[in-house]
Structure 1
Amino acid sequence: MSIDAKKLAQRLNRHAPKNAQIRLVAEKPFGPQLTVRTWNLANGLRVHVVPDDSAPVAAFQTWLRVGSRDETPGKTGLAHFFEHLMFKGTPSHPQGELDKLLEGVGAETNAATWTDWTHYYETLPAAQLPLAITLEADRMQYLALDTEQLDSEREVVISERRDRVEDDVEGMTSEVLFRQAFREHPYGWPTIGWMADIESYTVEDCLRFYRQYYAPNNATVVVVGEVDEPILLGLIQEAYGGMRRSRIRRPARAAEPPQTRARRKRLRFPTHAEKVAIGLRSPGLGDPDWVPFAVLNDILFGGRSSRMIRRLVLQDELVTECWGALTPFGEPGLMEMGADLREGVTAERVETILWEEIGRLHREGVSERELLKSQSRLELGVLTSLETAGGKAEQIGFDDTVVGDPTASFARLDAYRAVTLDDLRHIAGTYLRRRSSTTVLVRPTAGSQR
C-alpha cells in the first residue's frame, strides 16, 4: 500500500494529544516484496508496520528493551518474573480474562524473556487486531499487583527453576557454564534468577521495575499482516498515547575481562551418563565476525554430515547427541558446544576428541563444499523463519531490539552468502582457542548409573 506519510501524520495528529503525536522515521524494504515503516509516538513508543495481505491474519508483538542483563545482584530474575506477572490482570481485565478473550477469537498468545529483551505476542485473525491492541496497552499501563498475586507467582517460578535447572542436568550444566565463563558481566547469571533472589522479591521491587521498564520509550510494537495502516496507527495512538515516558536508569554493566587461561568445573549430578559442555568466547550479534562464526559452527555441528556429529555420533559412537550454538546476544557471548555421552564413556575422552577436531580444522581448514552446504542451510533457516506473519514480526522485533535494525535479517542473509574460506580461517584463529575456553564435566552421582 502506497501512502503519503506526511499527510497521514498530519491527519492522525489533528486531534491527538501531545504524547500521541506520530511521525514516520524510516521506510525500508523488507525482502523483495514487503516494506517496513517505522513510526514514533512523541512519548517514545516505536511502531514497525509491515502490511502483508498474503493471508487474513495479523501478528501483534510488543518488545521491551529489558532482560536479565539489566538486573542487579540480589534481584536477578526480575525480568523473567515480571513476564509471569503480566498475565495477572488489570482492573479492566481481571486475571484470566486476557487469555479467555484471545482464545475466544482463535488467537495464539505467549511471552518470552532472555538476556537482552522481553517479548509478548499475539497472532490472530486480522479483524481482531483491535482486541490485541486494547489488551496489550491496558496491561502495559494498569497492571494489578498485590502481595497475594506475587506470592502465588513466586511459587510457580520456584517450581519452574527446580524443574528446568536444579532437577535437570542440561539446565544445571548450562547455568554453571555461563557462571564460570562470565564472572563480571550479568550474562553470567541465569535469566530465571538465583533461587535466593526469587524468594526475596517484594511488591515494591516489582512495581519499581514495572514503572521504569514498561514504558513507551522502552518499547517497540511490531504489526505484520493484513492491516489498514491509517486505522491501525489511529488505534495505537488512542491506546498508547496517554502513556508518559519513564526515566530509565539502567545499572552499569561491568565489561567481562579477556580470558587468558582455560577454566574447568566438575559436577556431580543424578544422571545415567557423563556429559561435557565447553564455552568459547564469541562476538555480539552486531559484530561482523558473528556471521562467519555461525557458518563455522554449522560446519562443525549442523546436521548429520557435520564434522562433530560424523565423528562422535556416527563413527566413534561415543555420544547420543552433540551440539554447538552461538549466542545471539547484543554483547559478546559464547559459542556453546557439548555432548550427551553413552554410558561408560568418560567426559575427558569426548573432550579430547572435540579439541582434536578443532585442531584438524586449524591445520586443514574448511572445504568449499562444506562452506556452500552450511551457507545453504543457514539461508534456508532465515527464509523459513520469515514464512509467517508471526515469524516476520518476531524477526523484526528481535533485530530492532538487539542490533537496532528491523531489517537486519536480510543483511544477515547477504552476509551468510558472502562468507569466504579466509573468513573462516580468521574465525578459527581468533576464537577457537583452548586458553579462552570454559569446560564443565558432569559425572553421575553414586548409584545413579544403571
Structure 2
Amino acid sequence: MSKQTRAAGVLILLCVAVCLLTQGRAAAERHVTAHVLENGLQVLILEKRTVPVVAVQVWYRVGSRHDPEERRGIAHLFEHMMFRGSEKYGPEEHARLINDVGGSSNAYTFFDMTVYHERLPSSELELALELEADRMDRLALTQETLDTEREVVKEEFRGYADDPFFEVLSQALEILYPNHPYGLTPLGRMADLEALSLDDCQAFYESRYAPNNAVLVIVGDTDAANALTLCEKHFGGMTSNRTASPGDLALEPREEIGPHKLRAAIPVRATALAFYVPEANHADTAPLRVLAHILWDGESSRLHTRLVRDRELAVAVLGHHQVVQGPGVFACGAAHLPNISSRKVARALVQELGRLKKEDVTDGELEKARKQLLAAKVFERYTAEGLADGLGFAEVVEGDYRCFEDELDDFRRVNKADIRRVANEYFTDANRVVFFVRPKRSNPLIWLYGVIRSLF
C-alpha cells in the first residue's frame, strides 16, 4: 500500500469518526428514562429511532465473584441453564422464538454480572420482555437439566485446556487475587461443578435471580412510555427476594511481588508487569484507560516503539486494563525470543513506566490516544446493542448509568498532569507483580533464530 493510499484511508476514517462522534454524543445525551418497579427491578430505556430494531438486555448483579465457596462456577453454569426452559416454554424455545421473528439472543458471565441479551425487530419487543420475565420467575430446574448443562460446561473446560491465553490467565489470577472472588476465571473449578446438587442450584436461583437484583435495559425504536407499560405488565407481578450478600472485595496484604514463573503452550517467552488499580467508578479509571492506549495500542505506541523497534528486545507488546467493581489490574508486557532474558525485558518495562513518572507525555501522544479511545467508544454507541451494553455496564459495574453519559467527556478532560499523576500513584515497586512466562516445550529453532537476529 502506498503512502498516499494509506493517508487517504486514514483521512476517510477520521471523517467517519468525526461524523460518528457527533451522532454518538447526541445518542449519549438523549434522555434515558429510568424507573424502578415496586419489586426493585431497575429499568433503563433509551429511544433510538434510526432503524426498526430494539435491544433488550437483563443485567443480573451476579457474576463469578458471587459463587459460593466450594461451588465456584455456578454463576456461569446458570447462564446455560437459563436457556433450558420454564413452566411455559420448553428447552431452547426462548432462543427459537427470538430467531423465528428475525432476532438473535445470547448471554455471557463475567466477574461482576451475568447478562442476557436480545436484538430483534422493534415490533417484537413484548416477546423479548415476556420471555425474559418468564425465566426470571419460573425457570424449570430439573436433575436432567443440571446433568446436561454440567456436561456442556465441562466440555468448555476441555476446550480451553490447550488455550495458552486461558492457561496464563488462570495462573495469573490465582497469584494476583489470592483467596479472592476474582481469583478464578468465570468457569470456576471442575471439582466444584461435579459436586453441585439440584438443591444448590435452586438456592442460587432463588437468592440471585430476582427483580431487585437485576437491571433491564431497552434501547431502540420504541416509545419509552409504552415500553415501561410492557415492563410493568410482565415483571411487575413478581415479588422481590432477599438477595445474598455481595461479599468482600478487599485484597489481602501482599509481600511477594515475584517474579512469578509460569509455563504455557506458547512459542516464545513473555514478560509482564501487573499493578493494582482502583475500581471502575474511580476518577482515575479514565486517565488509566487513556494511558493504556499510549503504552501499547499500535505500532506507534511507547512500548512497541522502544522495546520492539528501537531496542529490539521484543517481537510484540501486550497489555490489559481490567475494569471491575473491585480492585482492578493494569498489566503490560512483551513477547520476546528466548535469547533475551526475562529480567532484561522486565527492567526495560520498568524503565519505560518510570519515564512516565518523570516526564509528561507529548501533546501528540495524548491527542492520538484520546482520539483513538473516543472513536472506539463512538463506534460502540452507533448500535442499539452498543448503547445498551454501555448503560448496563455503567449501572451495574460503575454504580450509576449516568457514568455512561459522562464517559466521553471524562476522556476528553484527561490531561498530561493526570497521566503523570496516575503513573506515580500506581506504578510503584510495592504495587508491582512480575510474571515470567516460558513455553512448556522449548524450540531450538526459535532460540537459533533469536541468536542470528541479534547479530544483524
Q: TM-score, normalised by structure 1?
A: 0.88
Q: Which moved more, 1:212-221 or 1:173-182?
A: 173-182
Distance change >3 Å, CA 369–CA 271, structure 1 → 2: closer
Q: Which residue of 1 aligns with 2:134?
A: 138
The residue aligned with 1:194 is 189
Q: CA deviation at 1:105?
A: 1.3
Contact 1:261/1:437 (CA < 8 Å) preserved in 2?
Answer: no
Amino acid at match of 1:339: A
Percent identical across equivalent pairs?
36
Cα distance, 1:162 vs. partner? Answer: 2.8
1:403 paired with 2:422, answer no
Check the 8 A contact 2:318/2:332 in 1, yes or no. yes
Give 1:160's match in structure 2, choosing from 156, 159, 166. 156
How far apart, in 2, do the equivalents of 1:255 and 1:32 lie? Answer: 33
Deviations 1:235-273 (A, max 9, x none): 221211221111112153251134455233212334322
Match of 1:413 in 2: 408
CA contact (8 A) 2:129 2:231 kept: yes
Q: Structure 1: any 5+ residue segments left out of the alignment?
A: 1-28
Q: Give the secondary-structure state (helix, strand or coil) at the position aligned to 1:435.
A: coil
Give CA deviations for 1:61-105 in whole Å, capped at 9, x if unaligned.
Answer: 101011122223211121111111111111321112112111111
Structure 1 position 361 matched with structure 2 position 361: no
> 335, 338, 342: which one pairs with 1:340?
335
Equivalent residue in structure 2 for 1:59, among 55, 59, 67: 55
Say whether residues 1:248 and 2:243 are aligned partners. yes
- Residue by residue over 1:365-415, the C-alpha shift from the partner in whole angstroms, topping out at 9 and shown as x without a partner, is 311221111111111122111111111111101101112221312312112
CA distance in 2 between counterparts of 1:289 and 1:406 reads: 18
- Change beyond 3 A, Cα 1:196–1:117: same
* Inter-partner Cα distance in structure 2 for 1:435 and 1:426: 17
Superposed counterparts of 1:224-373, under 5 Å:
224-250=219-245, 252-253=247-248, 255-259=250-254, 261-342=256-337, 344-373=339-368
SS at match of 1:132: helix
Q: Does 1:82 align with 2:74?
A: no
One-letter code of the match for 2:417?
D
Q: By how many angstroms is 1:170 displaced?
A: 1.1
Deviations 1:136-187 (Å, cap 9, x if unpaired)? 11111111122222122112212212322x3222112112212111124311
Distance 1:182 1:85, change over 3 A: same
For 1:173-213, what per-residue CA distance to the aligned partner results, in whole angstroms no more than 9, with x for missing partners?
A: 11221211112431122211022212221111111111111
Following superposition, the deviation at residue 44 of structure 1 comes to 0.7
* 1:435 matched residue in structure 2: 430
Match of 2:100 in 1: 104
CA distance in 1, matches of 2:352, 2:426: 15
Note the C-alpha offset of 1:317: 4.6
Gaps of 5+ in 2: 1-24, 446-456
Q: Distance in 2 between matches of 1:261 and 1:221?
A: 43
SS in 1 for 2:31: strand
1:439 is displaced (CA, Å) by 2.3
Q: How many equivalent residue pairs?
A: 421
1:45 maps to what in 2?
A: 41
**2:303–2:352: 8 Å Cα contact kept in structure 1?**
yes
CA RMSD of aligned residues (A): 2.0
Deviates more, 1:170-179 or 1:41-50: 170-179
Question: Which residue is equivalent to 2:120?
Answer: 124
Tell me if the contact between 1:274 and 1:341 (Cα under 8 Å) persists in the aligned partners: yes
- Amino acid of the residue matched to residue 109 of structure 2? T
Say yes or no: does 1:223 pair with 2:218.
yes
TM-score normalised by the chain length of structure 2: 0.87
**In structure 2, what is the Cα distance between the partners aligned to 1:341 and 1:150?**
44
1:440 alignment partner, SS class:
strand
Structure with the bigger percentage of helix: 2
Question: Structure 1 residues 98, 75: closer, same or farther in 2, change over 3 A?
Answer: same
